[in-house]
Amino acid sequence: MAGEILVVRCGIVPYEEARELQRQLAARRQRDEIPDVLLLIEHPPVYTRGRRSQPEELPMGAEWYEAQGIEVRDTDRGGLVTYHGPGQLVAYPIVDLGAYGDDVHIYVRGLERVMIEALGEAGVPAETIEGLTGVWVPRRRDENRSIQAEIGPSAVGEARKIGSIGLHVSRGVTTHGLAINVNNDLQPFEWIVPCGIEGVAMTSLSRELGAEQDLGAFADTLVAAYARVFDREPVAVEHGALLQTSG
């Protein structure tokens, strides 16, 4: 029987508020008071720095970015600097890894498969690149050829990054998660070194398909892909109801 996962659509939530919610839910998950939870969120404009981030990833300096209306926040997730903003779908799975093979690397590979399946259903082919985390769209000249065939085992080449992953694991429970560019402004990525990769081109679902996309409908597709890949049974829960039970 598939394990249950509560799916919560949170809307636009400030980054620090979302972090606090994750902390509360992770503590309850560690005590086995709640089942796994999948938070679906958009954030106001914010740059987040992972545990391995270096100052040169934000070359303009924090004050310059904040003057553009973009917060800069440190975080305990893995990975380097990235950008979140309205129109980007962020999914935070608060899950006990024991039911997922108890291996964070295998779980990350599963999250990449979730993104690839969801993007494929939306009409955008995506793949992974060996040695890098996240998912990428191949160059347009020959979409039938794989990224690996085009650019080798570890180079970025002309591939465009569309989805990112950064996790934190404490006492066997995950926080943070994945982000897929759907309709968000891509300009802020050009002001940083996203994910520590010099010269990387970022893209979005709307850019690849040439029209704005229904973020809610794509969230449905992502949840369905997560359920298939990890054999979970998604159960929709209202944001308010979850907050009432998370204190």
Enumerate the active-site residues.
195
Burial group, residue 219, by CB count within 10 angstroms (0-12, 13-18, 19+): buried
Strand pairing of 160-170 and 201-202?
parallel
Can you tell me the distance from the alpha carbon of 164 to that of 3, in angstroms, rounded to the nearest whole number? Answer: 25
Residues forming beta bridges with residue 201, ordered by sequence position: 160
Show the beta-strand stretches assigned E in 51-110. Answer: 71-74, 82-84, 88-94
Looking at the DSSP assignment, which residues form a beta bridge with residue 187?
Answer: none
Cα separation, 81 vs 78, whole angstroms: 10
Residue type, 17: E
Supply φ then ψ for residue 135, to 5 degrees: -130, 155
CA distance 95 to 203: 29
Strands 232-237 and 201-202: unpaired
